[in-house]
Amino acid sequence: MRLAAEHTHARHHIGELLLAALPSELGAARAFAERVGVAFGLDGDDCYDFTYAVNEAVTNAIRHGAPDRHGRIHLSFRASASRLTIAVRDYGTFVMPVARSDARSEHGRGFPLMARLTDAVRVRVEPGRTTVYLSKARA
């Protein structure tokens, strides 16, 4: 894991995290998301929801995406006056998941879950890169 600058400047960049694309790194992603959420001023429930949504996005990037040439995925946090946004980027080709009708299925439920936990979910697909953006407004 490599942690890059964690500071705010004119563009409201809060920090970024380069994370090994391994399930064992999910705890580091959650801890970083929680620290950023608290620093931004999300209340307890909103911070929990944001952190859980980040966990889901990172899990999807690890399971279904592809790491960069160094074996990592990239998380970047930005903030406006009232909204916190994370970009979770992997280097795979995005395929829209299909929600299964079987409620016991573990696949295809991530995007609806992220949408319930945040105020906005957006996916940007480029050749060799997929970025999921999650935003949460401060109450």
Residues in the chain: 139
Residue with tokens 């016991």: 104
CATH number at residue 61: 3.30.565.10
Distance between CA 6 and CA 61 in Å, rounded? Answer: 22
- Rounded distance between C-alpha atoms, residue 63 and residue 91, angstroms: 12
Give the type of residue at 83: R
For the whole model, what pTM was predicted? 0.83
* Residues paired with residue 126 on neighbouring β-strands, in sequence order: 129
- State which residues form the domain around 78: 2-137
- Summarised one tens digit per residue, pLDDT across range 59-114 is 999 999 999 999 999 999 999 989 999 999 999 887 766 555 555 545 557 889 99
pLDDT at 96: 64
* Residues 90/65, Cβ–Cβ less than 8 Å: yes
Counted domains in the chain: 1
